[in-house]
Structure 1
C-alpha cells in the first residue's frame, strides 16, 4: 500500500461508487459500488486491484450504512487507510457558484445544498455523504469536484436562453452543461496524445454512454455543449429524448392529458434508444438491428445523425479543430457507431481508418483518422481527474488546473 492515498466518492441517487487511488501516481488500488441504497436488494460490490470482485447483501442500508460498509470492506482486505490524505466527491451541480473544485467547509456545504433544486436527485445525496464523511473524520479534507465546472467558460451566447432575462435570472434558467469532469480529463489526455499544449488544443469531444453529450473545446476551454439546464437536451441517449420542442411539451400537458410527472417520465425514462428501438443498451440495439429489427436500425441511424449534426455545428463554433474525440462506454467501444458518424463527413476532412478503428483502444487512447481533422478514441477516467484535483488542493490549496481566464470574446459580465 502506498504511503499516501486518496479516496474518490461518487454518490448517485441510490448508489455509492468509490475508488481508492495512490496519491502520488494515481494508480487504482481498489474500487466498489453499493447499489439500491434505501431500496430492496441493496448490495455491496468490491474489487481490490488484481483480485476478483466480491458481492454481499446490505439489506435496508442507508447512506450512513453504505459509508460504514465501504470502510469496513477496506479493513477486511487489509487496505490500510492511515495514509489517506483526502476524499474527493463528485458533485453534479455547482450552478454559477462553483467554477472549479473546492475544499469543503460548512459554508461551501451550505452553498452546495442551496443548489439542490437544480439537481434534486443528486446534490442532496452528495451533501449527505459530505456531512457523513466530515462527521467520521473532521480533520480529513473533503473536496467537491463539480460536473458543471468545466463548462463555466461557456460564452454568454452559448449559455443564454432567448427568454426575458429577468425570468432567466430569477429562476437560474441557462445552459449549465454536464459531464464536465470527464471532458476535462479527456481534453488533457487528447492534447498529450496529439502533442499539442492543452491551452492551444481545439476539440469536439463526444462523451457517448447511456447519458451522452458533446462539447466544443477551444483553447482547452468549453465553449459550447449539448446538455443544457438539465442533462436532457442534445443527443439521443439510453432513455432520454435529447432535443425536443418545448411546444410539444405544452401540447402533451394541455391537449393530450399528460401530467408534469407523465412528461418527465416520458422524456427522461421512456425515450432515447429505449423509445425508438425497444432497449436502452446500444449493444442490445445493435443485436436487434443485426437480426432485422427495423426500429433498432433506425434508432442507431438517428443517434449517429444527431452526433453528426452537432459535429457540423461545432466546426462552425471552433475554428481550427484539431480532432473529433470519442470517449465513454459507447464512444470507446462501438467502432460501428464511430464509422457511422465519421464516414459521411469526409467532405469536412473527417475520416477514420477502418483497420485502426477496429482495434482495441489502449489506455492512453489512439488516433483512428489522419485527415485534416483527426479522429481519436480516448478512454475517460473521471475518478482519476477527481483524485488529481483532490491531491492538488490538499497539498497546494489550488486545483490541479487553475481557473480559466475570462473569454476575451466576453465584453461584459453576465449573471
Structure 2
C-alpha cells in the first residue's frame, strides 16, 4: 500500500508516492500549468496508474500546508472543520494557503474514502517560548491580529535534525543543533533537545536572513521612507522586498552559481552579494550559539546549503575559537562531515527531503 504526498501550488501539483511500510519512493512528479487542481489530480491519477497504483485505494494522502498559525502544533487529519481553520489563516499566507486548500479539496473529491492529513510548515516552530516568538509591540496586535513570529521551513529543519541524530548516533533529546536551510528562501533554526526554540523567519518568510529575492530583516522605517520619498504604494514596496531584493538586487541574479562565477571574474557586485549573504549567515550562527549555550552540530541543507562549499567556508571562517573548525578538503569533496578532528562542533551537510518527512508523519499517524 502507499502514501501520497502532495505539495499544491497555485498552478502546479508536486507529488511523491511512498510504500507505506518501507517508505521507499515509488514515483514522483510535477504537474504544471493546470487550470484547476481537480484537473491536476486527474492527470496525476493517470500517471500513477502506470505504476499500477489506484489513487482511490491508497492508505493516505499527506498535504504540505504553509501556515498553521498557533492552532496547529503537529500534523492533523483533514475534516471539514480543519479546512475551515486553514481557510481562516489565509490572511497570514495569502499566496500559499488557498492553493494548499484547493489541493486538499481536489484530493478528497477524487478519493473520498482515503484519509487526508495536513502537515504545516509552521508546526515545528510552535515550541518556541513567548520571549522568542513575540514582537515588542502592543499586546492587542498579538491577541487580536496574531502578530508574532511563526517561522517556516519547519518540515525541513525537523527532517535534517533527525538525520543528524542518526549520523551522530546520539538521541535527538540530547542534542543542541543549528540548522541552516539555504535555498532561494533561507532560514536558520536553533534546536534544543529536538525542539525548535528560535528561528530566523518571522510572521512571514520575509524576515531574517538575506535570500534569493527577499531582503530579510531591514530597518522597518525604510518602508515609510520609500512610500513618502519615492511615492511607492504598499503593493510596490511589498513586491520590492519580496521579489526584487536579496541576491537579485545586489548581483543582478539570484542564481548563486552564476554569482560565484561572476565573482571569480572580478565582478564587484557579485563579490559584495556573496559577502553580504555569508556575513548574515555567520552572524546568525553566532547568535544561536549564544542562545543554545552549547552546540553539538551545525547543519547545512537546501539547494545552496547542500551544494556550495564556498558558503560553508565563508560562514565558518574564523570561528575556531568557538569550536568550529572546517576541513577544507572534506568540504571541497562534498562529504557529509566537513569538520576536522579539532572541531568540537560537528559540521554536517545533509540533503533535505520534506516530502519524505511528510510521509513519515503520515506513517506515524496511521500507526497510531
Q: Same fold by TM (over 0.5)?
A: yes
SS of residue matched to 2:41:
helix
* Kept in 2: contact 1:193–1:366 (CA 8 A): no
Of the three residues 7, 12, 15, the one matched with 1:10 is: 7
Q: Quote the residue 2:350 is aligned against.
A: 378
Contact 1:369 1:376 in 2 (8 A): no
Match of 1:411 in 2: none
Q: CA RMSD in A?
A: 1.3
Residue pair 1:182, 1:382 contacting (<8 A) in 2 also? yes
What SS is found at the alignment partner of 1:21? Answer: strand
**For residues 170 and 336 of structure 1, do their structure 2 counterparts lie closer, same or farther at Cα, with a shift above 3 Å needed?**
same
Question: Cα distance 1:194–1:64, how it changes in 2: closer, same or farther (>3 A)?
Answer: same
1:366 aligned onto 2:363: no
Aligned match of 1:270:
244
Which structure 2 residues correspond to residues 296-315 of structure 1 after superposition, within 5 A? 296-315=270-289
- SS of 1:366 mapped into structure 2: coil
Aligned residue for 1:280, secondary structure, equals: coil
In the alignment, which of 352, 356, 362 is matched to residue 326 of structure 2? 352
Contact 1:91–1:123 (8 Å) recurs in 2:
yes
CA gap 1:127/1:82 in 2 versus in 1, 3 angstroms: closer
Alignment partner, residue 305 of structure 2 = 331
Q: Distance in 2 between matches of 1:305 and 1:351?
A: 17
**What is the alpha-carbon distance in structure 2 between the residues aligned to residue 35 and residue 75 of structure 1?**
19
- Give the deviation of 1:304 after TM superposition: 0.4
- Residue 240 of structure 1: aligned partner: 214
Matched, 1:160 2:134: yes
Partner of 1:387: 359
The number of residue pairs the alignment matches comes to 367
Q: Distance in 1 between matches of 2:298 and 2:19?
A: 31
Residue of structure 1 equivalent to 2:91: 117
Give how far 1:63 is off. Answer: 1.5
Q: Is residue 75 from structure 1 mapped to residue 49 from structure 2 by the alignment?
A: yes
Structure 2: how far apart are the matches of 1:169 and 1:315? 31
Contact 2:56 2:110 (8 Å CA) reproduced: no
- 1: distance between equivalents of 2:340 and 2:57? 44
Mapped partners of 1:138, 1:84: distance in 2:
11
The residue number in structure 1 matching 2:182 is 208
Task: Give TM-score scaled by structure 2 length.
Answer: 0.97
The alpha-carbon deviation at position 395 of structure 1 amounts to: 2.7
User: What displacement does 1:203 show?
Assistant: 0.6
C-alpha offsets along residues 326-373 of structure 1, whole Å, 9 cap, x if unaligned?
011100110111011102212211121011112234xxx435344011
Give the Cα–Cα distance (whole angstroms) in 2 for the partners of residues 137 and 187 of structure 1. Answer: 33
Q: How far has the Cα of 1:132 moved from its partner?
A: 1.3
Unaligned runs of 5+ in 1: 38-60, 397-415
Q: Distance in 1 between matches of 2:176 and 2:256?
A: 29
Partner of 1:19: 16
Following superposition, the deviation at residue 76 of structure 1 comes to 3.5
| Partners of 1:141 and 1:394 within 8 A in 2 | no
Contact 2:209 2:216 in 1 (8 A): yes
TM-score calculated relative to the size of structure 1: 0.86
1:279 aligned to 2:265?
no
